[in-house]
Amino acid sequence: MSRIGRLPVVVPPKVEIDIQGTLIRVTGPKGTLEHTFPADMQVKIEDGHILVQRPSDDSQHRSMHGTTRALIQNMVTGVSTGFNRILEINGVGYRAEVQGKNLVLNVGYSHPVVIEPPAGLSFEVEAKTRQVKVLGADKQQVGQMAADIRKIRPPEPYLGKGIKYLEETIRRKAGKSGKG
């Protein structure tokens, strides 16, 4: 039995679950998320918990058991509390700001880079700490947007300039050694 798959998903108050066939729709204060799970997985609501069960111990069923439960848990967490990813900007003259809904990055190019958030995502910028927060209900979408922002100017190993995740550590390299 999958250790993750057998755990029940606790449904907090203010979150509504609607299961129609293989489609699950989760609605909460932060928005609505939908996902189609595999037809073999059985998803039931009992006593304020969501239970995911698999029909057999086939390898395909075992692999999808924990995955389905984790995706449902992420949907419930996303619509109730939301997800965020924090990026840090390092470098002289590098900065970020929010204009309307768009994120504007000045990271050493000849032009500012403007990023429009997709539906369901938003940006916050702390100018003092040079941190950019990507906020949203969909964990996959938040992570992908953070990765796309980081890709604009990845951190380089010599001076550490660039955009990095807050918890990321950059392996630094020694520069050229001078002649003695």
Phi/psi at 63 (nearest 5 deg)?
-70, -35
The three-class DSSP label of residue 179 is coil
Beta carbons within 8 Å of 104's beta carbon, 6+ residues apart: 96, 97, 98, 112, 113, 114, 115
Structure tokens at 88: 């840090």
Q: Average pLDDT of 75-79?
A: 96
In angstroms, the CA 107 to CA 162 distance is 7
**Per-residue pLDDT tens for 86-115?**
999 999 999 999 999 999 999 999 999 999
In angstroms, the CA 28 to CA 36 distance is 18
CB atoms inside a 10 Å sphere around CB 145: 22
In angstroms, the CA 81 to CA 76 distance is 9
Q: Is the pLDDT of residue 41 over 60?
A: yes
Q: Is the pLDDT of residue 50 over 90?
A: yes
Structure tokens at 136: 């949203």
Q: Is the pLDDT of residue 25 over 60?
A: yes
Q: Is the pLDDT of residue 175 over 90?
A: no
- H helix and E strand count, the chain: 2, 13
Q: How many residues does the chain have?
A: 180
Structure tokens at 16: 């509504």
pLDDT category at 124 given cuts 50, 70, 90 is: very high
Single out the residue of 104, 106, 126 nearest to residue 114, CA to CA: 104
Contact 170, 89 (CB under 8 A): no
Q: What is the pLDDT of residue 176?
A: 83
pTM: 0.89
pLDDT category at 1 given cuts 50, 70, 90 is: low
The three-class DSSP label of residue 105 is strand
